[in-house]
Amino acid sequence: MTEETGRIQSISGPVVKCGGLPSVRMYEVVRVGHEQLIGEVIEVAEKSCTVQVYEETSGLAPGEPVVATGDTLSVELGPGLLGSIYDGIQRPLPDLRELSGDFITRGLTVEGLDKEKKWKFTPSVKAGDRVEAGDILGEIPETGIITSRILVPAGVKGEIVEIVSKGDYTVVETICKVKDDHGDVHEVRMMQRTPVRVGRPFKDRVGMDTPLVTGQRVIDTFMPQAKGGTGAIPGGFGTGKTVTLHQFAKWADAQVVVYVGCGERGNEMTEALEEWPDLKDPKSGRPLMERTVLIANTSNMPVAAREASIYVAVTIAEYFRDQGFDVALMADSTSRWAEALREISGRLGQLPSEEGYPAYLGSRLAQFYERGGRVKTLASEERLGSITLCGAVSPPGGDFSEPVTQATLRIVKVFWALDKDLAARRFFPAINTLTSYSLYHQTLERWHREHLGEDWPELVTEAMALLQKDQELREIVQLVGPDALPESERAILEAARMIKEDFLTQSALHEIDTFCPVGKTYRMLKIIVNFAKQMSKAVETGVGVRRILEFSVLDNIARMKITPWDSYEKTMDAIEKKMAREFQSLSAEPDGSSVMTPGVVQ
Partner 1 sequence: MSKESSIVYRTVSDVSGPLLIVENTHNVSYNEVVKIRAPSGELMTGTVLETGRGRAVIQVFEGTRGLDTDLTAVRFTGETLKLPVSTEILGRVLDGSGQPLDKGPPLTAEDHWDIYGSPINPYARQYPRQPIQTGLSVIDGLNTLVRGQKLPIFSGSGLPHNRIAAQIVRQAKIPGEEGDFAIVFAAMGITATEAQYFMNSFEETGALEHTALFLNLANDPAIERIITPRAALTAAEYLAYESEMHVLVILTDMTNYAEALREISAARSEVPGRRGYPGYLYTDLSLIYERAGRIHGRRGTITQMPILSMPQDDMTHPIPDLSGYITEGQMIVGRGLHRRGIYPPIDPGPSLSRLMKEGIGEGMTRFDHKEVQAQLYYAYSEGRDLRDLVAVVGSEALTERDQKYLKFADKFEGEFINQGEYEDRSFEQTLDIGWNLLSDFPDRELKRCDPSTISWAKDRGAYKPR
Contact set for partner 1, span 336-375 (CB under 8 A)? 336, 339, 342-343, 346, 352, 355-356
| Phi, psi for residue 175 in degrees, rounded to 5 | -110, -15
Among the listed ranges 126-134, 144-152, 376-384, 474-482, the one in contact with partner 1 (CB under 8 A) is 474-482
Nearer to partner 1 by Cβ, of 236 and 453: the residue is 236
Single residue of 161, 172, 558, 580 touching partner 1 by CB under 8 A: 558
Nearer to partner 1, 480 or 600 (CB): 480
Name residues contacting partner 1, limited to 89-128 (CB under 8 A): 93-94, 96-97, 100-105
Of 52, 57, 148, 170, which one interacts with partner 1 (CB under 8 A)? 57
CA distance 440 to 449: 14
Which C-beta is closer to partner 1: that of 56 or that of 132? 56
Enumerate residues 139-198 that contact partner 1 by CB under 8 A. none
Size of interface with partner 1, in residues (CB under 8 A)? 75
Determine, following the binding rule CB under 8 A, whether residue 11 of this chain makes contact with partner 1.
yes
CB of 92 to partner 1, least distance (A): 8
The DSSP annotation for 1-68 comes to: ----EEEEEEEETTEEEEES-TT--TTEEEEETTTTEEEEEEEE-SSEEEEEESS--TT--TT-EEEE
Chain mean position to CA 424? 25
Stretch that binds partner 1, among 60-68, 411-419, 454-462, 514-522 (CB under 8 A): 60-68
Query: Least Å distance between CB 327 and partner 1?
Result: 22
Residues in 373-392 at the binding interface with partner 1, rule: CB under 8 A:
none
22 vs 266 by CB, closer to partner 1: 266
Nearer to partner 1, 274 or 589 (CB): 274
Site residues (CB under 8 A) for partner 1, limited to 253-312: 261, 263, 265-267, 269-271, 273-274, 296, 298-301, 303
Of the pair 62, 167, the CB lying nearest partner 1 is at 62
Judged by beta carbon, residue 12 or residue 122, the one nearer partner 1 is 12
Distances (CA, A) of 557 to 263, 275, 579: 41, 31, 9
Stretch that binds partner 1, among 52-60, 323-331, 379-387, 520-528 (CB under 8 A): 52-60
Tell me whether strands 5-12 and 414-415 are parallel, antiparallel or unpaired. Answer: unpaired
Strand partners, 122: 139
- Strands 174-179, 292-297: pairing is unpaired
Work out how close the CB of 404 gets to partner 1 at its nearest, in angstroms, rounded to a whole number. 12
Q: Cα separation of 502 and 499, whole Å?
A: 6
Backbone angles phi, psi at 339, to 5 degrees: -70, -35
Residue 296 or 411 having the CB closest to partner 1: 296
Nearer CB in complex with partner 1: 213/303: 303
Give the nearest distance from C-beta 94 to partner 1 in angstroms.
Answer: 5
Distance CA(404)–CA(234), nearest Å, equals 10
Count CB atoms within 10 A of the CB of residue 67: 16
Closest approach of partner 1 to the CB of residue 43, in Å? 15
Q: Which helix (H) or strand (E) holds 167?
A: strand 167-169
Q: Does 10 bind partner 1 (CB under 8 A)?
A: yes
**201 counts as binding partner 1 under rule CB under 8 A:** no
Per CB under 8 A, contacts with partner 1 among 398-437 are 398-399, 420, 423-426
Of the pair 14, 224, the CB lying nearest partner 1 is at 14
Cβ proximity to partner 1, 46 vs 102, nearer residue: 102
User: Which residue type, as a one-letter code, is found at position 459?
Assistant: L
Residue 47 touches partner 1, criterion: CB under 8 A: no
Beta bridge partners of 188: 176
CB of 20 to partner 1, least distance (A): 14
Buried b (16+ CB within 10 A) or exposed e, 512-529: ebbbbbbbbbbbbbbbbb
Q: Which is nearer to partner 1, 63 or 590 (CB)?
A: 63
52: amino acid identity, one letter:
Q
Judged by CB under 8 A, does residue 495 bind partner 1?
A: no
The rounded distance, in Å, linking the Cα atoms of 313 and 26 is: 21
Q: Rule CB under 8 A: choose which of 501, 569, 573, 591 binds partner 1.
A: 501
> Which residues in 184-211 are b (16+ Cβ under 10 Å) and which e?
eebebbbbbebebeebbebeeebebebb
- Out of 144, 167, 277, 397, the only residue in the binding site for partner 1 (CB under 8 A) is 397
CB of 179 to partner 1, least distance (A): 44
Q: How far apart are CA 359 and CA 345, in angstroms?
A: 10
Residue 228 in contact with partner 1, rule: CB under 8 A: no
- What kind and span of H or E run contains 369? helix 361-369
**Nearest approach, Cβ of 97 to partner 1 (angstroms)?**
5
d(CA 30, CA 38): 6
Can you tell me the distance from the alpha carbon of 45 to that of 101, in angstroms, rounded to the nearest whole number? 39
Question: Which residues within the stretch 503-532 sit at the binding site for partner 1 (CB under 8 A)?
Answer: 509
At 422, give phi and psi (nearest 5°): -60, -45
Name the residue nearer to partner 1 (CB basis): 90 or 170.
90
